[in-house]
Amino acid sequence: MLDYIMGYYRFLYMSNIKNNTTEGATMNDLNETMDEAIINDDFNKIESIALNPNHALVRMSQYNMFTDQVSFVNKWVNISEVFKELWDDINTDCHDYIMDLPQYKNMDFDQMVEDYDCKTYEWIKKTDAWNLKGFGLDYSQ
């Protein structure tokens, strides 16, 4: 039984690393950079992270399966893919950010995903984003 639990924990850990990876850096790198900047009083780095429109401070829940406790933590999240990628294609940190937006906060989950994907489809049609990705271009190009 312990092997099963540890295997599942390893799977969650590895999928979390994979899902949190964007543009070659993990979300943890963003949080570690912010922590180091706070410790070193590097106000330029703090300002560059906090004022970047692609970063948001998001409150997330963390489940500890050993103590069966849920706690909340604030993390910096790269939200540059929000409303540019469909719900299934963005990472779980962005899911937490979207569910915390005022227009989705009190909405039924299925309705929220449908509404989010509708807005994203409109953006994709308007910018022809799927053709851009097919040619290896970025949204900003």
And the tokens for 73?
A: 């933590």
Report the C-alpha gap between 48 and 33 in whole angstroms.
11
Band the pLDDT of 76: cuts 50, 70, 90.
confident
More confidently predicted of 113 and 4: 113
- Measured CA to CA, the distance from residue 76 to residue 59 in angstroms comes to 9
- Classify 27 as helix, strand or coil: helix
Q: Which of 123, 54, 50 is nearest to 84 (CA)?
A: 123
The H or E element spanning position 22 is strand 21-22
Mean pLDDT of all residues belonging to the chain? 75
HSE value, Cβ hemisphere, 13 Å, CA-based, for 114: 5
Structural domain includes residue 139? no
pLDDT tens for each residue of 21-39:
334 445 568 888 888 888 8
- The model carries a pTM of 0.60
32 inside domain: yes
| Residue 141 placed within a domain | no
Q: How confident is the model at residue 139 (pLDDT cuts 50, 70, 90)?
A: low
Domain count, the chain: 1
Q: Is residue 140 part of a domain?
A: no
Q: Which H or E run contains 64?
A: strand 55-64
For 38-65, the pLDDT digits (tens) are: 888 888 888 888 888 888 888 888 888 8
Note down the domain range covering 101: 2-134
Query: What's the rounded Cα separation, in Å, for the pair 93 and 112?
Result: 16
